[in-house]
């Protein structure tokens, strides 16, 4: 059965009053971007729906991409036919024969926005239902929660027939909520936090701290590859790698062990904030979850957050680790996150970080360092890469290692 169009429904967008135009425009742009390797496709955003005209493109592949576009509540592959009853009957029957399985229940649901059409919805339901019963065995109608709803929409420009209602990713189109930076490590939590930020329409750029020679190329490659998985939800993602070794060496040399972690985190947040400012972002996101580790107690957050007044948003703050892991599995980042390439925090983690650091002491110890000089040198060393959906970095690395042998 060849579907001719996909009908996309907006959900939350519809309630957004005057911003609606911007939302629909962004969504159309984001859909165009994820489908750009199907040049035959046409995208028509309307005020209540968006139509994707397939022109022969395979729905199965389009389906995989649409599932990851935020701002879509539901969508249906449909077949458009002319406004005559014989054409409707014929296609409805073909679609049912191709997809209906024994034991299922169904109903016909007709809508009519063209009131000039010669039959009303009751007549249409009956005529189509009768036609199906005349030509198929074992059909069972059920009005409440049937397994399949055969939807027939009579519109001005034609009749749309569909029997699937697919749940979209929900949320808001990426870009509608503005720009922000995301602190992405190689762990489990920050990729999930990234997904949740994108889901609310925030266009994020990844900030990643790495510490060569203490951390390997693999740790950096892993973080980039995680960004590649997340890029499925945004079309592409900028990845900003920030050299962090000098700062860590200085902290380790000059500060008491109990404050290594707190002051490292203060530097990370300051750097993230400076990068945010340079790149026109409005907020900082990270993957902290209250109480998960020493740096994520409320006391620690007070001592760390002190370096900025920029909103620091923590999408997974209140989630249990098991809930975060479940989401990580769902979005496909978990298996990569648990690969054991140690990042900069693991290498310089003190054995006993303070779980209740004091803000006053954190400031006092930090004053032993040339904060501005360290920050400036780290900023001078940043490298920005644009990462595409599913771009891989670890495999390339494995390839290089093989070649060296
Ligand atoms: P994650 O699973 O996200 O790594 P975690 O449980 O390992 O989190 P931490 O290592 O304490 O927790 O980090 C807390 C947050 O700080 C991370 O979620 C991330 O937002 C940020 N962060 C930690 N390390 C880095 C890094 N190397 N680069 C960028 N951000 C980082
Ligand atoms: Mg981590």
Structure confidence by residue, pLDDT tens digits, 292-316? 777 789 999 999 999 999 999 999 9
The DSSP annotation for 158-219 comes to: EEEEE---EEEEES--TTTT-EEEEE--SSSHHHHHHHHHHHTT-EEEEEEEE-TTTS-HHH
Report the distance separating Cα 191 and Cα 331, nearest Å: 9
Q: So what's the pLDDT on residue 354? A: 82
Per-residue pLDDT at 347:
66
pLDDT at 350 > cutoff 70 = yes
Question: What share of the chain has pLDDT > 70, as a percent?
Answer: 95
* Ligand with an atom nearest the CA of residue 206: 1
Question: For all residues of the chain together, what is the average pLDDT?
Answer: 92
pLDDT at 405: 43
* Per-residue pLDDT tens over the stretch 379-400: 999 999 999 999 999 876 555 4
Measured from the alpha carbon of residue 239, the closest ligand is 1
Looking at residues 152-168, what average pLDDT do you find? 94
Span 266-274, average pLDDT: 98
Quick one: pLDDT at residue 1?
74
Please give the pLDDT value at position 91: 96
* Distance of CA 220 from the midpoint of ligand 1 (Å): 13
Shortest-distance ligand to the CA of residue 268: 1
Residue whose CA lies nearest to ligand 1 atom number 24:
185
The full set of domain ranges for the chain reads 5-167, 179-404
- Per CATH, the homologous superfamily of domain 179-404 is HUPs (3.40.50.620)
Whole-number pLDDT of residue 396 = 61
Separation of CA 262 and ligand 2 centre (Å): 14
Measuring from atom 12 of ligand 1, which residue has the nearest CA?
288
The contacts found for 356-364 with CB under 8 angstroms, 24 or more apart, are 356/297, 356/299, 356/300, 357/258, 357/259, 357/262, 357/299, 357/300, 357/303, 358/303, 359/302, 359/303, 359/306, 361/259, 362/259, 362/262, 362/263, 362/266, 362/303, 362/304, 362/306, 363/306
Mean pLDDT calculated for residue range 73-101: 94
Position 403 scores a pLDDT of 45
Distance 183 CA to ligand 1 centre (A): 7
The binding-site residues of ligand 1, defined as CB within 6 angstroms of any ligand atom, are: 183-185, 187-190, 207-209, 286-288, 292-293, 295, 343-345
Percent of the chain with pLDDT over 90: 81
Ligand 1 pocket: which of 189, 293, 322, 337 to mutate (most atoms within 8 A of CB)? 189
Q: How far apart are CA 234 and CA 65, in angstroms?
A: 11
Protein residue with its CA nearest to atom 2 in ligand 1: 187
**Which numbered atom of ligand 1 lies nearest the CA of 293?**
11
For ligand 1, the distance from its centroid to the CA atom of residue 209, given in whole angstroms, is 9
Ligand 1 centroid–CA 399 distance in Å is 28
Cα of 102 vs centre of ligand 1, distance in Å, is: 51
Which of ligand 1's atoms lies nearest the C-alpha of 289?
Answer: 6
Q: What is the mean pLDDT of residues 210-216?
A: 91
The answer, yes or no, to whether residue 112 has pLDDT greater than 80, is yes
- Report which of residues 113 and 243 the model is more confident about: 243
Quick: pLDDT tens for 125-146.
Answer: 999 999 999 999 888 999 999 9
Q: Whose CA is nearest to atom 23 of ligand 1?
A: 185
**CATH number 3.30.2130.30 given to 5-167:** yes
355 pLDDT band (50/70/90 cuts)?
confident
Q: Which residue of 287, 314, 328 sits with most ligand 1 atoms within 8 Å of its CB, as the best mutation to test the pocket?
A: 287
Q: From residue 352, give the alpha-carbon distance in Å to each of 161, 303, 314, 355, 394.
A: 64, 17, 24, 9, 32
């Amino acid at each position: 059965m060849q579907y001719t169009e996909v009908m996309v429904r907006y959900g939350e967008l519809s309630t957004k009053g005057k911003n609606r135009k911007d939302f629909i425009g962004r969504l159309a742009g984001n859909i165009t971007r994820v489908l750009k390797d199907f040049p035959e496709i046409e995208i028509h955003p309307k005020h209540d729906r968006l139509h994707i005209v397939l022109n022969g493109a395979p729905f199965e592949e389009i389906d995989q991409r649409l599932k990851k576009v935020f701002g879509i509540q539901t969508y249906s592959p449909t077949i458009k036919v002319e406004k005559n009853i014989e054409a409707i009957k014929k296609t409805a029957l073909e679609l049912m024969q191709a997809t209906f399985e024994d034991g299922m229940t169904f109903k016909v649901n007709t809508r009519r926005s063209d009131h000039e059409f010669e039959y009303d919805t009751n007549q249409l339901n009956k005529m189509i239902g009768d036609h199906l019963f005349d030509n198929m065995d074992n059909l069972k109608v059920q009005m409440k929660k049937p397994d399949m709803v055969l939807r027939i929409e009579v519109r001005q420009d034609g009749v749309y027939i569909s029997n699937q209602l697919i749940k979209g990713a929900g949320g808001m189109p990426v870009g509608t909520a503005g720009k922000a930076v995301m602190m992405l490590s190689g762990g489990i939590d920050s990729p999930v936090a990234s997904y949740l930020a994108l889901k609310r329409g925030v266009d994020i750029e990844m900030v990643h701290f790495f510490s060569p020679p203490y951390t390997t190329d693999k740790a950096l490659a892993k973080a980039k590859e995680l960004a590649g998985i997340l890029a499925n939800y945004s079309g592409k993602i900028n990845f900003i790698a920030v050299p962090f070794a000098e700062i860590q060496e200085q902290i380790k040399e000059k500060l008491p062990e109990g404050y290594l972690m707190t002051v490292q985190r203060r530097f990370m947040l300051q750097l993230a904030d400076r990068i945010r400012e340079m790149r026109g972002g409005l907020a900082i996101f990270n993957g902290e979850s209250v109480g998960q580790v020493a740096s994520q107690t409320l006391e620690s957050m007070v001592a760390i957050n002190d370096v900025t007044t920029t909103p620091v948003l923590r999408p997974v703050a209140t989630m249990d680790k098991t809930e975060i892991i479940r989401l990580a599995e769902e979005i496909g980042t978990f298996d990569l996150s648990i690969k054991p390439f140690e990042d900069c925090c693991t290498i310089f983690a003190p054995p006993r970080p303070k779980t209740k650091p004091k803000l006053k002491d954190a400031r006092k110890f930090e004053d032993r360092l040339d904060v501005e000089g360290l920050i400036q040198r780290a900023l001078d060393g940043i490298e920005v890469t644009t990462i595409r959906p599913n771009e891989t970095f670890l495999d390339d690395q494995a390839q290089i290692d093989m070649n060296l042998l």
